Amino acid sequence: MNAYAGTATLTRLAFRRDRVMIASWVIGITAVVLGSAKSFASLYDTPAKRASLAQSTNDNASLRAFYGPVFGWDGTGALTAWRFTVVGAALAGLMAAFIVVRHTRDDEETGRHELVAAGAVGRRAPLTAALLTACGAGLALGLAAALGLAAAAQDGAGAWVFGLGLAAGAAVFGSVAAVTAQVVETGRSARGLAGAVLGAAFVLRAAGDAATDDASSPLVWASPLGWIENARPYAGDRWWVLLAPLGFAAVCAVVAYTLAARRDLGAGLVAGRPGPPVGSPALSGPFGLAWRLHRGALAAWAAGFVVVGGVYGGLADSVADLVKDNQAVTDVITRMGGQSRITDAWLASAVSFLGLLAAVYAVQCVLRLRGEETSGRAEPVLAGAVGRTRWAGSHLAFAALGPAVLLAVGGLAIGLAHGSRAPELAGAALAQLPAVWTVAAAAAALFGLAPRATGAAWALIAVCVALGMLGEAIQLPQAVMNLSPFTHLPKLPGAPVELLPYALLTAAAALLGAAALTGTRRRDLAG
Amino acid sequence: MTTAIDATGVRKTFGRTVALDGLDLTVREGEVHGFLGPNGAGKSTTIRVLLGLLRTDGGDVRVLGGDPWRDAVALHRRIAYVPGDVTLWRNLTGGEVIDLLGRLRGGLDPARRAALVERFELDPTKKGRAYSKGNRQKVALVAALASDADLLILDEPTSGLDPLMEAVFRRCVAEERDRGRTVLLSSHILSEVEALCDRVSIIRQGRTVEAGTLSELRHLTRTSVSAELAGPPDGLARLTGVHDLAVDGNHVRLQADSDRIGDVLRVLVESGVRSLTSSPPTLEELFLRHYRDEADDEAGAAR
Ligand SMILES: Nc1ncnc2c1ncn2[C@@H]1O[C@H](COP(=O)(O)OP(=O)(O)OP(=O)(O)O)[C@@H](O)[C@H]1O
Ligand SMILES: [Mg+2]
């Protein structure tokens, strides 16, 4: 049929453009699944321990809300599937949504789509190629995770249902994104809307699981993630439940095609609204501009910190119940949190997690600076009476102060959800700042001294995340752990406060920041 | 102070690429100066050096009496710039960008801003992503023209404008000149250069190959002559300054260097002239000659 002409070529092109991204998602998610299978195998090595974990989870509404009920506990596979079927499907969905938006709305926005549409390419080909790419990536992820889990759990049957669940997550949210990409005008909003649908699906499922302990609540059945949960890998293997998400994905795809046929290239169903014809007085310098460019993202991140902090804080008491009979788990949590009181250890690991997230935000702010430069938007600003330091400073201010806002908000949210110690927890979260600043300043130094390598800042983040989340659990040597600035922070709340690490990290950040600004003043501006 | 821009022997390399190779550029105060050259000649690079966005590897550059790299911020209060490729912030409206860019330079005249928005028929309420290429260019043009800058640096400012808007642009630049502003205008549109520019500089491969007023440059060019003679011509081929000679029986067509035209006529008269047309050199021919020489050079180098 003519409408699909060129689909194969476009799909190949999309896989080529995305091969690194897809490979990173697949390897990353599979590695996390395998890592946790490994630790379940060693920490819950007897039927008694597994049964007690299942019992205390199923008895606790907030744990059920977060992880879902435990349907089966006769082996490592069952526990891993309990922990990762929903989360893995959500992550697969996120990957698929990104892929679909990237090859539909993003391409329309940049004009690449026009270039393609002018060639011998059918009307439906770009959307079809995007969906095929997303589903292909989902299948690759499902296959890798299933093979890995089958090997790690030494039990194959459930692993296939688990892998199919992940692929179904990709199909559902990939096609949801295909719809949102038709509805709004920018890739950013299309991703945001698809993410909101995913969040809503997660919340529905969580609410339903909090209400019932066997995932039978209508709320669970109202959520695509709830359907995937109910496939129950290693606990009945009800693979036919997965027909529901696949059907839902098919319906979404039909809706997306219908909408696409009814709108103009580049336009959305929701037209962009006109804005003010003159600039407000606040928009009068590089800082005013930076505020306009960063405020939306900062608000969204702050909302995310409230949610994450709230979840961690809300679980704090349940966690103590959950692990009180399992010495090995208690050991891991106290190693990560660094203290003997299990609740403090849990709160401290929550605070460290917020610190890592804040570093991601800060690095994004620095990369924004590079984006302004390479897109040519920095040029007219610097051709005004604006020095390089002021221009760079306007964005770096967000890299430095944005994390302070986020950590304060996140720390307060932990405290409020936990029901006590809010000021102390906000302080503990803010104490992450020197490490966040060190990472941000290192990224800025890359921007100032080796601008082409600014993207390598993500590698810094990857190292910090890997060491912070897995290092203690797999007991890496201290010399390796010391590579991450976060290792050097006292584990608050609970641990004694030492000033020296804070002073040293702040000094390192200041030095790197100075190098960044000096480099920025001296180098050519890319155009 | 009579020179707004004075650059001599400017060199700039990007890795192995030599973008500017001893470029000279003099722009006098109050003139509209055309800046021409084939793609990749180094026009945009020169402009980015003049704005202090790039650091030179050699040579001297003075802009409005200052050093563009060291005194960038102070100089930029007096310079307005329109880049060749205008990218806007997607969540800012055109009106907001105009005000922002004006304020970054130290403010703009609200009455002129309003008049220019009207003349360029720009809708200032659209968001950056919704503008077409030409409209993005108009946003940058309004911001530059509404400012009180002494020097306007325009890098191919009309490449996306329709003919109607191009005419508006010409009138605006002429007004700016009448108000005593200096304009450096890089352009590939020769009629625009011919209509607006007092002097031009032509660059090629990072070097200045020609600079002067348009009439000075015309002087350097060739006049085409076509003549019907009484008998076969004699001795034309031996004359210096004669090019592209084509003899077809009694009909002659040739190109003559403008300062040799007298000699050519004398030879033609000797054979008896029945009819004669001679067309003065157009700017087109002048540029094509300079641009084509480059292609020839490259062909020669490749061989
Ligand atoms: N940042 C850069 N890195 C590497 N090479 C560059 C860079 N900027 C310019 N060049 C090279 O310098 C040369 C001059 O480029 P420039 O953009 O100044 O040309 P131009 O005269 O403006 O051309 P056009 O008419 O196409 O706009 C080109 O060969 C270009 O490839
Ligand atoms: Mg150019």
CA pair distance A339, A428, nearest whole angstrom: 14
CA distance A442 to A431: 19
Lowest mean pLDDT among A259-268, B63-72, B150-159: A259-268
B53 to chain A, any CB pair closer than 8 A? The answer is: yes
Confidence at residue B267, expressed as pLDDT on a 0 to 100 scale:
87
**What gap in Å lies between CA A485 and CA A434, rounded to an integer?**
8
The least confident of A6-10, A75-79, A401-405, A468-472 is A468-472
Residue A216 sits at the chain B interface (C-beta within 8 Å): no
pLDDT per position as a tens digit, A359-395: 999 999 999 999 899 989 999 999 999 999 999 999 9
- On chain A, the residues whose CB falls within 8 A of the CB of B104 are 285-286, 380-381, 384-386
Ligand 2 centroid distance, CA of A379 (Å): 14
Instruction: Report the amino acid identity of residue A59.
Output: D
Of the residues B73, B82, B117, B135, the best mutation for testing chain A's interface (the one with the most A CB atoms within 10 Å of its CB) is B73
Q: Which of A195, A172, A157 is nearest to A81 (CA)?
A: A157
Residue A340, pLDDT score: 58
| pLDDT attached to residue B300 | 44
For residue A321, what pLDDT is reported?
Answer: 74
SS3 content of chain A, % helix, strand, coil (to 5): 80, 0, 20
Is the pLDDT confidence value at B86 over 70?
yes
First to last CA, chain B: 48
Position B44 scores a pLDDT of 95
The residue whose CA is least distant from atom 3 of ligand 1 is: B14
Identify the pLDDT of residue A474.
Answer: 63
The answer to whether the CB atoms of A275 and B127 lie below 8 A apart is yes
* Nearest by CB: B90 against A186, A289, A382: A186
**Which residues make Cβ contacts (< 8 Å) with residue A502, sequence separation at least 6?**
A431, A434, A489
Integer CA distances (angstroms), A202 to A36, A86, A307, A408, B1, in order: 21, 8, 13, 26, 70
Q: Any residues with CB less than 8 A from the CB of A89 and at least 6 apart, and which?
A: A165, A166, A168, A169, A170, A172, A225, A228
pLDDT band at A36 (very low <50, low <70, confident <90, very high): confident
The residue count for chain A: 527
- Report the range out of A32-36, A111-115, B105-109, B204-208 with the highest average pLDDT: B204-208
Give DSSP secondary structure letters for B263-275: HHHHHHHHH-EEE
Kindly state the average pLDDT of the residues A17-43: 88
B43 Cα–ligand 2 center, Å: 6
CA distances A476 to A327, A329, A463, Å, are 21, 17, 13
Binned at pLDDT 50, 70 and 90, residue A271 comes out as low
d(CA A16, CA A21): 10
Alpha carbons B221 and B182: distance in angstroms, whole number: 27
Task: List b or e across A292-321, with b for residues whose CB sees 16 or more CB atoms inside 10 angstroms.
Answer: bbbeebbeebbebbbebbbbbbbbbebbbe
Does B112 contact A at CB distance below 8 Å? Answer: no
CA distance B71 to B83: 20
Compute the Cα dihedral for A117, A119, A123, A124 and give only its sign: negative
Contact present, A209 and A215 (Cβ < 8 Å): yes
A6: region left, alpha or beta (phi > 0 left; psi from -120 to 50 alpha): left
N- to C-terminal Cα separation, chain A: 44
Which pLDDT band, with edges at 50, 70 and 90, does B220 fall under? low
Confidence of residue B301 (pLDDT cuts 50, 70, 90): very low
Map tokens 């393609």 to a residue: A116
Q: For A390, which residue in chain B has the nearest alpha carbon?
A: B73
Q: Is residue A472 within 8 Å of residue A333, measured between CB atoms?
A: no
- Tell me the two tokens of residue A428: 């503990």
Round the average pLDDT of chain A to a whole number and report it. Answer: 89
Which chain A residues touch B86 with a CB distance below 8 Å?
A: 376, 380
Least confident segment among A39-48, A135-144, A173-182: A39-48
Contacts of B92 in chain A (CB under 8 A): 275, 283, 292
DSSP string, A38-51: HHHHHHS-SHHHHH
* C-alpha span between A439 and A464 (Å, rounded): 9
B140 touches chain A (CB under 8 A): yes
CA dihedral angle for residue B197, residue B203, residue B209, residue B212, rounded to 10 degrees: 10
Spell out which residues line ligand 1, taking CB within 6 angstroms.
Answer: A 526; B 14, 17, 19, 37, 39-45, 84
Mean pLDDT calculated for residue range B183-193: 91
Cα(B41) to ligand 2 centroid in Å equals 8
- A-chain residues within 8 Å CB-CB of B139? none
Instruction: Flag whether pLDDT at A484 surpasses 80.
Output: yes
Check residue A261 and give its pLDDT: 87
Distance from CA of A363 to the nearest CA of B (A): 20
Q: Name the residue with higher pLDDT: A349 or A326.
A: A349
Share of chain B above pLDDT 90, in %: 57
The average pLDDT across A43-49 equals 89
Q: How far is A15 from A201, CA to CA, in rounded Å?
A: 28
In the sheet that holds B182-186, the strands lie side by side as B79-82, B151-155, B182-186, B32-36, B199-204, B207-213
CA B40 to centroid of ligand 1, rounded, Å: 5
B213 touches chain A (CB under 8 A): no
pLDDT at residue B302, rounded to an integer? 44
Tell me the residues surrounding ligand 2 (ion) with CB < 5 Å.
Answer: B 44, 84
Q: Tokens in use for A236?
A: 């009945």
**CB distance A384–B93 less than 8 Å?**
no
What distances in angstroms separate CA B178 from CA B5, B33, B118, one per listed residue?
A: 19, 14, 21
- The mean pLDDT of chain B is 88
C-beta atoms of A293 and B126 within 8 A: no
Question: How large is the ipTM?
Answer: 0.83
Q: What confidence score (pLDDT) does residue B303 get?
A: 41
- For tokens 């002409």, what's the residue? A5
Q: How far apart are CA A113 and CA A100, in angstroms?
A: 13
Output Rg (C-alpha) for chain A, integer angstroms: 24
- Centre of ligand 2 to C-alpha B44, Å, is 4
Confidence of residue B299 (pLDDT cuts 50, 70, 90): very low
- Mean local confidence (pLDDT), B6-31: 95
Dist CA A356 CA B155 (whole Å) = 44
More confident residue, A349 or A163: A163
Decide if pLDDT at B51 tops 80. Answer: yes
Please name which ligand lies nearest the alpha carbon of B155. Answer: 2
Please choose, from the candidates A293, A279, A271, A286, the residue with its C-alpha nearest in 3D space to the C-alpha of residue B124.
Answer: A279
The percentage of chain B sitting over the pLDDT mark of 70, rounded to a whole number, equals: 94
To the nearest whole percent, how much of chain A has pLDDT over 70?
95
pLDDT of residue B276 exceeding 70, the answer is: yes
Closest by alpha carbon to A416, among A303, A316, A302? A316
Contact B82, B141 (CB under 8 A): yes
Q: Are residues A61 and A210 in contact, defined by beta-carbon separation less than 8 angstroms? A: yes
Q: Which residues pair with B228 in a beta bridge?
A: B251, B275
Q: With 0-12 CB in 10 A as exposed, 13-18 as middle and 19+ as buried, what is A164? A: buried
Of B81, B100, B130, the CB nearest to A272: B130
Banded pLDDT at A119 (limits 50, 70, 90)? confident
Residue whose CA lies nearest to ligand 1 atom number 25: B39
Phi and psi of B37, rounded to 5°? 165, 155
Is residue A146 predicted with pLDDT exceeding 90?
Answer: yes
Say which of A277, A284, A382 has its CB closest to residue B53: A382
Tell me which of A337 and A95 has the higher pLDDT. A95
Relative to beta strand B79-82, strand B207-213 is unpaired
**A33 in Cβ contact with A146 (< 8 Å):** no
**Nearest CB partner across the interface for A385, out of B100, B105, B130:** B105
pLDDT of residue B84: 87
User: Comparing A203 with B172, which gets the higher pLDDT?
Assistant: B172
Question: What average pLDDT does the segment B102-112 reach?
Answer: 90
Please check whether residue A293 touches B, CB under 8 A.
Answer: yes
For residues A3 and A264, give the distance between their C-alpha atoms in angstroms, rounded to a whole number.
16
Mean pLDDT computed over B97-125: 93
- Residue A318, pLDDT score: 80
Residue B70 identity: R
pLDDT at B247 > cutoff 90: no
Confidence of residue B231 (pLDDT cuts 50, 70, 90): confident
pLDDT above 50 for A19:
yes
Give the angle subtended at the CA of A212 by the CAs of A208 and A215, to the nearest 5°. 70
Compare CB distances from A284 to B44, B55, B103 and report the shortest one's residue: B103
- The amino acid at residue A148 is G
